[in-house]
Structure 1
Amino acid sequence: MTAPILPGAPASTPLPKRSASRLPVILRNPAFGAVWVAQVLTQASARMFQVGIVWWLIQWSAGSERGLASGAFLAVSTLPAVALAPVVAGVIARHPYRTVMAAAAAGAGLVAAATATWAYATPLPMGLAYGAALLLAGCQALFDPCLTTSLPVLVDDADIEAATGFELATQSLAGLAGGLLGPLVIDAWQLPGVVAGCAGAYLLAAALIAVTRFPAAPATGDTGAPAAPDPADGPPTAPRRTLRRILADLPFIRRVLLCFAAANVVTTAVFVVMPMYTALVLHQDGSTVALLEAALGAGTLAGSFTGGRLPGRPVTTGTVCLGLMAAALAVPGFVTDRAAYAAAMAVAGWCVGTIGVRFVALFQRMVPTADKPGFFAVMQSLLGATFPVASLLFGALGDQISPRTLCLVQAAGLVPVAVALWWTGTRGDAPGDTGTAAEDTITATTGGGAR
């Protein structure tokens, strides 16, 4: 993603031309392709570790408090993205992107390798598994916003939606690979096999980024970045503002982020509900968890690549997708069937992917270039802050009520969020709010239809 069309830009600001090439951007742009593959490896590793550990806790280690134990583990896995947002923003703004991503992947690989060695030598204490999750999540919390921030350097402006789709598709590929492998590897080789696989993938990602040459970008100079173009690509520099100031100047985006943070409270609970539903309602093994994770990932992948082609404003699309997701999450609450649950997860995943590609592309053009390190770090923090709450809440509830009821609670929780997002779209027409103009620009750029 490249320099955004800023709020308040003159009406004569030209729209970027779309690329005439038919080759995917990952083939036309080797640097972006390599970094994207590295992100697939790191996020698939993180997902495999999370899904594998949760299944291990539910099946063997947590006893009668399996819901709370798995929810607490997932909460720990998301704390770094929330707590370290200011630190992450500062690191990304001051250091070359390639260095930051390579160091984050290598650090995660070393943590996973040490954990795997311990697990092979002796049974892994539950506390150590939680500690390893915390460290791995810290590395991922640095890697992901750094990649998002680096897109304006890695790709041309005409490729912004395509690059966004590929980047967001990483989440679905991680769901397909990590979610599929996690429970299967746990069933076959237990904990040591899962952690060793994660270590290898992290280290491979670090090596891939280390040998990739980033395009040089001019530095303007007062955040500690090199004063001349850096072959390893330091970030574009400009006076940095506080995270509070960034969001204060973007009221439309702030309201959208709050809506999606609220949605995350109920949607991310699926990672707690899904394995509990499999064990307690379907009475199936890890292969069913793998199937459901794969369905969710496949749906997200499809949404990431098709969402940008849908007509209409992003807020309209997001509202419809939230409503459709609510209906999908309600299905396993009414129908106890593995195939129906898998189909519902695929639909929910498509909605997630579609929302992601439309709104991240919108943010890339609305947020000033100099603010992007801080913005994407705080975006990850704001959205991630709900995940520990959702994991602990639904995990604790899962020890008290049926997983089928939890599915219905999730569905009901999305309805008011969809209404709030629709209302946010109407607020974009208010005087002094640039949200509507920015949405019109992004819709025209992505080839969306008229409102």
Structure 2
Amino acid sequence: MTATEAAGTAEAAATRLPLVLRNRRFAAVWAAQVLTQAAGRMFQVGAVWWLVGYAAGTDRGLASGVFLAVSTLPAVALAPLVAALIARRPHRTVLGASAAVAGLVALGTAGWTYAATLPMAVAYGAALLLAGCQAVFDPCLTTSVPELVEDADIEAATGFELATQSLAGLAGGLLGPLVVDGAGLAGIVAGCAGAYLLAAALIAATRFPTAPGAPTADGDAPADGAPPADDAPPAGRRPLRRILAELPFVRRVLLCFTAANLFTTAVFVVMPLYTRTVLHADGSTVAALEAALGAGTLVGSFTGGRLPGTPTAVGAGCLGLMAAALALPGLPGLPAPAAGQATAVGSMAVAGWCVGVIGVRFVALFQRLVPATDRPGFFAVMQALLGATFPVSSLVFGLLGDHLSPRTLCLVQALGVLPVAAALWWTGRYAPEPAPAPAPGAQPIGDER
């Protein structure tokens, strides 16, 4: 075998490896996202169960709804600031700083929790600060994906990135209620602090590439031939208000998903209430439901790209299936608690799979449809639009949870998703998605072996 053939064989073998084994830069950043989102999810799920099971008394629905609303406000309120920050500063700096600040907030909260009983207002404040850090971290990482991987690996990178939410749901959702039952809220916050600080260390140890002519950390373009500095996006981006205005198909799709989120994200309020009042179970059952949702999303993230059909057709079908899955635990006549628990776990797994499929298909499409210079603003706006309904959903379903049964809330969720599925199908049927734009002119960074 000649040297050329051997090199070709080695390269072909390498390309068959998972992306995280072929690209160490992306693997480190992805691992940091897993840690931050798992920590955030563990704190969120654990704190909600702490409120429902221990701290909130008879107002558990409202208390948990307010907590979840507070946890999502930063992604909505800070979207313009986040977009500007990502556009002007090196991505490595933004990612590392947001993880480090979250670690310090969690560390301070953990110290307070071990020293004295944590007031509910402090728990809400910690949730607000941690969510703010995550609202910076996630769109910055999404913006960095095309710069860390080759164009052919965007779907794979997107699958790994979206799978982070699944892994976070599995780890955080599983550990959160269990740790609260065993070690209280103090154990949750201490674990979160360690995860955030480890993520910051991973980012600090990772060197980000940059294309020639990109601005440096000081905001100035390097001279020709100068060594590349840490990555920073090029200047000259368009105002945020023009991004969605010039992408009508993307705008319609985002509006559909925003409407769907009003009902689907209510599951994080409904699940603890369902466990408490219908199944009469403890934190281990909440953990099982969260784990099923995360496992389903994980599978969907890695199988969604293989399903035939256009993104709108696949998305509409998945929304319809999700409506059926959400309605199943609310149907009258289901025996409880054993059969009811099995039904709820299965429903969460199916709903999670639908979320994973929708996410990987549409985020990969957006990576190609949205011009590279608009991606920081676009993904910040996307996160804000999709998150805008979460506070409303949490408050509305939290209030309803104090007056309606969780079974009824399951049916309300399902009925709300069905019209959105029809709207998304109509969008693809009568306003077909445009062809993806050519790859950006900047030279993509290859795998680091």
- Picking from 112, 115, 119, the partner of 2:113 is 119
Alpha-carbon distance in 1 for matches of 2:375, 2:54: 43
TM-score when scaled to structure 1? 0.90
Secondary structure of the residue aligned to 1:436 is: coil
Deviation larger for 229-238 or 366-375: 229-238
Secondary structure of the residue aligned to 1:282 is: coil
Deviation larger for 213-222 or 299-308: 213-222
> What is the letter of the counterpart of residue 238 of structure 2?
R
**Shift of the alpha carbon at 1:231?**
4.9
> What is the letter of the counterpart of residue 286 of structure 1?
G
Q: What's the counterpart of residue 41 of structure 2?
A: 47
Q: What's the counterpart of residue 434 of structure 2?
A: 436
Q: What's the counterpart of residue 363 of structure 1?
A: 366
| Alignment of 1:27 onto 2:26 | no
Q: Contact (CA 8 Å) 1:219, 1:235: kept in 2 or not? A: no
**Shift of the alpha carbon at 1:151?**
0.6
- Picking from 236, 241, 246, the partner of 1:249 is 246
Q: What's the counterpart of residue 414 of structure 2?
A: 411
Q: What's the counterpart of residue 312 of structure 2?
A: 315
Structure 1 residues without counterparts, runs of 5 or longer = 1-17, 430-434, 442-451
Q: What's the counterpart of residue 211 of structure 2?
A: 217
Q: What's the counterpart of residue 76 of structure 2?
A: 82
Alpha-carbon distance in 1 for matches of 2:292, 2:275: 14
Q: What's the counterpart of residue 139 of structure 2?
A: 145
**Shift of the alpha carbon at 1:234?**
2.3
**Shift of the alpha carbon at 1:240?**
1.1
- Post-superposition Cα deviations, 1:353-373, rounded to whole Å, max 9, x if no partner, equal 000000000000000000000
Q: Contact (CA 8 Å) 2:94, 2:137: kept in 1 or not? A: yes
Alpha-carbon distance in 2 for matches of 1:352, 1:219: 38
Q: What's the counterpart of residue 186 of structure 1?
A: 180
Q: Contact (CA 8 Å) 1:109, 1:203: kept in 2 or not? A: yes
> What is the letter of the counterpart of residue 363 of structure 2?
V
**Shift of the alpha carbon at 1:426?**
2.3
Alpha-carbon distance in 1 for matches of 2:233, 2:419: 40
Alpha-carbon distance in 1 for matches of 2:217, 2:28: 27
Q: Contact (CA 8 Å) 1:181, 1:290: kept in 2 or not? A: yes
Structure 2 residues without counterparts, runs of 5 or longer = 1-11, 440-449
| Alignment of 1:61 onto 2:55 | yes
| Alignment of 1:97 onto 2:94 | no
- Post-superposition Cα deviations, 1:344-403, rounded to whole Å, max 9, x if no partner, equal 100000000000000000000000000000000000001000100000000000000000
Alpha-carbon distance in 2 for matches of 1:348, 1:139: 27
| Alignment of 1:333 onto 2:330 | yes
Q: What's the counterpart of residue 14 of structure 1?
A: none
Alpha-carbon distance in 1 for matches of 2:342, 2:307: 28
Secondary structure of the residue aligned to 1:23 is: coil
**Shift of the alpha carbon at 1:20?**
7.6
Q: Contact (CA 8 Å) 1:223, 1:239: kept in 2 or not? A: no
Alpha-carbon distance in 1 for matches of 2:131, 2:70: 8
5 Å matches for 1:200-349? 200-220=194-214, 225-228=219-222, 231=228, 233-334=230-331, 335=334, 336=336, 337-349=340-352
Q: Contact (CA 8 Å) 2:178, 2:284: kept in 1 or not? A: yes
Change (3 A) 1:225 1:332: same
Alpha-carbon distance in 2 for matches of 1:220, 1:116: 40
Count matched residues. 419
Alpha-carbon distance in 2 for matches of 1:233, 1:341: 47
Alpha-carbon distance in 2 for matches of 1:157, 1:243: 25
Alpha-carbon distance in 1 for matches of 2:406, 2:436: 41
> What is the letter of the counterpart of residue 163 of structure 2?
A
Q: Contact (CA 8 Å) 2:95, 2:140: kept in 1 or not? A: yes
Alpha-carbon distance in 2 for matches of 1:289, 1:391: 17
Change (3 A) 1:225 1:309: farther
Change (3 A) 1:178 1:249: same
Q: Contact (CA 8 Å) 1:226, 1:234: kept in 2 or not? A: no
**Shift of the alpha carbon at 1:238?**
3.6
- Post-superposition Cα deviations, 1:29-82, rounded to whole Å, max 9, x if no partner, equal 000000000000000000000000000000111111100000000000000000
**Shift of the alpha carbon at 1:19?**
10
> What is the letter of the counterpart of residue 169 of structure 2?
G
Q: What's the counterpart of residue 379 of structure 1?
A: 382
> What is the letter of the counterpart of residue 64 of structure 1?
T
Secondary structure of the residue aligned to 1:437 is: coil
Alpha-carbon distance in 2 for matches of 1:276, 1:19: 50
Q: What's the counterpart of residue 401 of structure 1?
A: 404
> What is the letter of the counterpart of residue 201 of structure 2?
A
Secondary structure of the residue aligned to 1:225 is: coil
Deviation larger for 143-152 or 328-337: 328-337
- Post-superposition Cα deviations, 1:172-197, rounded to whole Å, max 9, x if no partner, equal 00000000000000000001100000
Alpha-carbon distance in 1 for matches of 2:305, 2:232: 27
Change (3 A) 1:24 1:77: same
> What is the letter of the counterpart of residue 307 of structure 2?
L
CA RMSD of aligned residues (A): 1.8
Q: What's the counterpart of residue 445 of structure 1?
A: none
| Alignment of 1:422 onto 2:416 | no
Q: Contact (CA 8 Å) 2:88, 2:233: kept in 1 or not? A: no
Q: What's the counterpart of residue 38 of structure 1?
A: 32
Q: Contact (CA 8 Å) 1:314, 1:358: kept in 2 or not? A: yes
